Structure 1
Amino acid sequence: MIVCGDDALAARLASELHDVYGERVTLVVPPARSSTGGQPAVAPNRIRTSALFGRVSAAMNRPGGADEVGSSGEFLLPVREVEAAEPSEEALRQAGVERAAALALVYDDDEMNIRAALAARRLNPRLRLVIRLYNRKLGQHLEGLLDQAAVVAMPGLDVTALDASTTVLSDADTAAPALAATAVAGTSKVVQAGGLLLRAVERTPPGPGEVPDPGLCTLALLSSTTNDPAGAEGSDSSGPQGPSLLPDDATVAAATGRGTVVLETISYAGLPVPSRRLAGRGAPLREIFSRRLRRALAGAAAAVVALAVASWLTTGDHPLHAAYLTLLDLFAIGDPAVGEPTARQVLQLLSGLVGLALLPVLVAGSLEALGAFRGAAGLLRPPRGLSGHVVLLGLGKVGTRVLARLRELGIPVVCVEEDPEARGIPLARRLRVPVVLGDVTHEGVLEAAKIHRAHALLALTSADTTNLEAALYARTVKPDLRVALRLYEDDFATAVYRTLRAAHPDALTRSRSVSTLAAPAFAGAMMGRQILGAIPVERKVLLFAVLDVAGHPRFEGCTVAEAFRPGAWRVIALDTAEPAERRPDLAASRPYGADRTGAGLLWDLHPGYVLRPQDRVVLAATRRGLAELLGRRTGSRPGPQSA
């Protein structure tokens, strides 16, 4: 396995492949920089053995360590590093791309990843490619292009059979469901499959006489400290009461007093129905005519009607003629009532006064309507009285994806962004999400986002200190606020989490590293299976994957109950579509207006159903369980010619 990258995701992915799946890994990283001139401290493309992953021997010596490294228990070789300024053909050759089974390109630069992918496909048509791209539409076209290039390079090559396919993933897309779910009660963790949203819900232990709802299945038993706000998340994970992933029914029944994580399916409701709009510009009627303006216009209209009725009663004219004269007097275009009866003269003076009062009301209404139309294409401000919303800090790559997820779930959001040209500003404008422009560390910015009435805070900027400062300040405004932080390093995220939980025991806090949430999905794709998503369970991770039954003796010819292995994997759905009509990517979002009922996926599987070779199933698996299913181990892996 070859991993090319320049940030924490590359290191985390290499560690995931090496420690969990037991793979031989080569990591291509930029050369080290000197502390003086910023020049490379070593020559480019230098090969060395990495010391970053030197905990293999320690893991082998502690109880259960062999299972953490690999279920086969063999001694793993250290991660090999190739230092290169960029993934050129020379660097890829030195990394052994011609003999590799899979290559992951996880640079933060889309263009660099695409250029390296084209070169790698040319050097090894059988290579499995996993590419990190933010642009999903470009990624779909790139997948087809690179797969077609493999077929052209080797006529007769069956890309599907050899699994020499291309998978384009986004760390933001992979981590967004978990980041959004940590701030929302009742949604918890969410992944998407077949047009449906799967929701992993944390449930407290049932009371006496209560019958727990198992949902589709029970994914995990939570540790005893999970519901203790002052406890450390997963602090007792090594004990008998620690979190248990994919337990069987007997274990769930025996684990009284412990919370559970169950799987549910929820309908994809889409975005709320927009308000009535004028002229196709997106300005609601209530914004064009404010409440005060409507009251002023109603008062003026009532005065005009009263004057018209008084003129009709005093002069004896026809009602229409009386109303006509009143309007002429109102707009000061009628003849002076010289020589007319006193009642007529008084009514003319009153009509003139009403006309003078009406003039500024009309001017104010025109200016307000103009401002509403101009603001319809701009950013909205948080409305008065807003409460129970989520305050989202940062509209970068991750923040934009999280915003889309929150709006898909119908959750009110207020965004805070310093850069008016940020990536997520157009999405916020299109979804009509209120945005506060300003530095979140400045006084008054969070107050403008109604943080004192918010339900949760999601700090997703790219600066750890900014996220931490915003969380600490928000806690001073509202001590019981639910907070979720995006932090760069997992160790730092753990330390911040425990400190905030100890300082604010009555509030819920979550700290997440994007690289930690995204690495399992990238690693699973490198192993050759489609990953639908990953959900965190305390400090562990569950993967949702799609697997073809053919060629897997643990599934083929077995019933659903027999295929279930507690603590490793569990079949949760069956794709009932014909093989020729199956969607290649079950995790892809469907366009608005498309079928979102999950047709084609059967979730309520009978335990006695016998899995056939032509079936495709959706399963939940632990990382080590997925590694065992794939059956790839150091020393026993077939070469590329026999893959």
Structure 2
Amino acid sequence: MNERVDVDVWVESKPALRVRARANWLYARAVFHRFRLRFLILLVVLAGGGALFSALSSPEQEVTFFRGLYYTWCLIFFEPPVDFPDNLVLDVMFFVVPLMGLMILVETFLELSIMLRDRRHNEREWSRMIASEMSNHVVLVGCGRLGLRTLGHLLKMRMPVVVIESDEKNAFLAQVRAQRIPVLVGNGRDDRMLADANVAKAKSIICCTNDDLANLEIALDARRLNPGIRVVLRLFDQNLANKIRDGFNIHVAFSTAAMAAPSFAAAATDPSIKTSFMVDGQLVVVSRIQVQAGAELANRSIADLCGGLSMHVVAHHPAGAAESRTFPPPGTILRPKDQLLVQLRFEDLSRLREMNKARGGAPEPASAP
């Protein structure tokens, strides 16, 4: 049974019209580039045949250039439009043009049918063709839980993405393919796989597999293929991440353990904390609170509140309103039972809670999740 991950950053079950239109446009460009030589040969054959029919046919037939084009087109499909001519050059055309047309058209139709089949199934050839037409895109290596969430954020930011995943049985690939995203199944440490993902023209590469050494090797290979590419690396060892960032000039190297530690500690301390992270050695948290009637926060503006505390109001959900408002205006007045999503230093959170206590010392109730 396929496992499905529902995350708050994931996109709609069907790709947006913009995504489908871009995929179709890239596919059309790839098809044209794939068959442009054959199209050119066919055009030369048609034009040359039209010119020869027009120049060498008997005057009584009154063959114009466009009629000659039609005659040549009919010859390609083994349908001679006129009787066998008396001119030697036209006689040769009656044998050569059908053979050339047969070779070009049959091979083109067969290859095009395979490409259309691959497009329906989002298989490797279709994905490789789409990736070959991309530029300034992001290559995401690894489509586990972290990779899927990262992909969701990238799609929210409208970034074109190519996914590389080593496990063809990965349960998350169905979700990715449903978004018309190119998926290449194979070992990301293979240069051919990186070439298929068009790393040479990519803006950045995100290596987030569960193997530190594989992530590092992929990052170095990508840098070799594209010296200007931005590399984001997932590592489990913070010391190794620091050394790699400094020694290999990797733009960003994240230790998942170091990133998760503040969130675990903060969540254990206060259930209202939604997330946390370190900034220059200081713990910054995002917390949700509900304004209490009679508290110091009630009937004050956001600007007044932020002026007294080093904090930012990320979202404001007025009491009774259906939706919250992100980054509300500074002049917004806070009313009792309003909900706030605030970002501040962890040591300032206790002071904010004191300001949110109703006069008389009533404790603040737990905020809604």
Q: Is the 1:571–1:620 Cα contact (8 Å) retained in structure 2? A: yes
- Structure 1 counterpart SS, 2:205: strand
Aligned residue number for residue 202 of structure 2: 454
Aligned residue number for residue 112 of structure 2: 369
Q: Is the 2:132–2:198 Cα contact (8 Å) retained in structure 1? A: no
The residue identity in structure 1 corresponding to 2:166 is E
Q: Is 1:392 aligned to 2:153, yes or no?
A: no
Distance 1:479 1:558 in 2: 53
Distance 2:149 2:178 in 1: 14
Aligned residue number for residue 582 of structure 1: 322
Q: Is the 1:326–1:348 Cα contact (8 Å) retained in structure 2? A: no
Change (3 A) 1:613 1:337: closer
Cα deviation, residue 434, structure 1: 3.1
Aligned residue number for residue 420 of structure 1: 168
Deviation per CA, 1:275-331: give whole Å up to 9, x if none. 485xxxx99444445322322332233234334534666333576987776666554
The residue identity in structure 2 corresponding to 1:610 is I
Q: Is 1:483 aligned to 2:226, yes or no?
A: no
Change (3 A) 1:626 1:388: same
Distance 2:197 2:282 in 1: 33
Aligned residue number for residue 354 of structure 1: 97
Change (3 A) 1:518 1:385: farther
Q: Is the 1:574–1:605 Cα contact (8 Å) retained in structure 2? A: no
Q: Is the 1:287–1:372 Cα contact (8 Å) retained in structure 2? A: no
**Can you give the 5+ residue segments of structure 1 that lack an aligned partner in the other structure?**
1-132, 137-169, 177-191, 193-268, 584-599, 632-636
Q: Is 1:606 aligned to 2:330, yes or no?
A: yes
1:71-220 → structure 2 map (5 Å cutoff):
135-136=5-6
Q: Is 1:520 aligned to 2:263, yes or no?
A: yes
Deviation per CA, 1:103-132: give whole Å up to 9, x if none. xxxxxxxxxxxxxxxxxxxxxxxxxxxxxx
Distance 1:473 1:335 in 2: 58
Distance 2:173 2:54 in 1: 54
Distance 2:63 2:194 in 1: 62
Q: Is the 2:313–2:327 Cα contact (8 Å) retained in structure 1? A: no
The residue identity in structure 2 corresponding to 1:373 is L
Q: Is the 1:546–1:618 Cα contact (8 Å) retained in structure 2? A: yes
Cα deviation, residue 459, structure 1: 1.5
Cα deviation, residue 508, structure 1: 2.1
- Structure 2 counterpart SS, 1:439: coil
The residue identity in structure 1 corresponding to 2:330 is H
Distance 2:75 2:31 in 1: 29
Deviation per CA, 1:372-399: give whole Å up to 9, x if none. 1111122301644754332221011110
Change (3 A) 1:303 1:408: farther
1:222-241 → structure 2 map (5 Å cutoff):
none
The residue identity in structure 2 corresponding to 1:397 is R
Q: Is 1:510 aligned to 2:253, yes or no?
A: yes
- Structure 1 counterpart SS, 2:128: coil
**Can you give the 5+ residue segments of structure 2 that lack an aligned partner in the other structure?**
355-361
The residue identity in structure 2 corresponding to 1:362 is L
Q: Is 1:560 aligned to 2:310, yes or no?
A: no
Out of 299, 302, 306, which is 2:47 matched to?
302
Change (3 A) 1:569 1:601: same
TM-score between the two structures when normalised by the length of structure 1: 0.45
Cα deviation, residue 419, structure 1: 0.6
Q: Is the 2:137–2:161 Cα contact (8 Å) retained in structure 1? A: yes
Distance 1:624 1:298 in 2: 74
Out of 605, 614, 622, which is 2:345 matched to?
622
Distance 1:362 1:315 in 2: 33
Change (3 A) 1:482 1:270: farther
Out of 222, 236, 241, which is 1:497 matched to?
241
Change (3 A) 1:616 1:442: same
Aligned residue number for residue 381 of structure 1: 128
Distance 1:536 1:431 in 2: 33
- Structure 2 counterpart SS, 1:352: helix
Distance 1:354 1:448 in 2: 36
Aligned residue number for residue 313 of structure 2: 571
Aligned residue number for residue 37 of structure 1: none
- Structure 1 counterpart SS, 2:136: coil
Distance 1:485 1:271 in 2: 29
Cα deviation, residue 354, structure 1: 1.6
Distance 1:564 1:381 in 2: 51
Q: Is the 2:293–2:337 Cα contact (8 Å) retained in structure 1? A: no
Aligned residue number for residue 357 of structure 2: none
Cα deviation, residue 460, structure 1: 0.8
Change (3 A) 1:447 1:333: closer
Change (3 A) 1:459 1:314: same
Distance 1:309 1:518 in 2: 81
Change (3 A) 1:275 1:574: closer
Q: Is 1:439 aligned to 2:187, yes or no?
A: yes
The residue identity in structure 1 corresponding to 2:97 is V
Change (3 A) 1:135 1:552: farther
**Bigger helix share:** 2
1:20-31 → structure 2 map (5 Å cutoff):
none
Range with bigger deviation, 519-528 or 468-477: 519-528
